[in-house]
Structure 1
Amino acid sequence: MRSRGVVARVPAKVNLQLSVGPLGSDGYHEVITVFQAISLFDDVSVATAPVGNGLTIDISGQTSSGVPADSS
């Protein structure tokens, strides 16, 4: 079976403010954020795998060696 997948370019942002409000009656906190889009992107690709192979995360790029790809 051939693997099917999709690639998406995801724009980066800088959070200038992130405020978490009190717990609401629905059990969730209100979140208020102010962010600025910047001219950096991540290319994210996702592909299917045969049943029973679990989940694999591969990270690549100039600074990828500092990003954990396990449960840490």
Structure 2
Amino acid sequence: MSKTAMQELSELSPQLPLNVLKDIDHKVSDWLAGGGDENDPYIWQQVRYAKNYIAATFYGQDVSF
């Protein structure tokens, strides 16, 4: 069985700084409150955002907000 977007985010969360986690949490919470599903493409977009942030910081790129 494949992982859900929420499971992926949960596994990635220890590698993310608090400001990024808060941003993702806010976006996901708003989406779910509006009737969205935990596995919608929008939530997968947040997974990609988290992975891209991790990759960028791993390679020393400035990803300041």
Sort the TM-score into its range (normalised by shorter chain): under 0.3
Larger Cα-atom Rg: 1
Whichever structure has more helix as a proportion of its residues is 2
TM-score, with structure 2 as normaliser: 0.20
Whichever structure has more strand as a proportion of its residues is 1
Higher relative contact order at CA 8 Å, sep ≥6: structure 1 or structure 2? Answer: 2
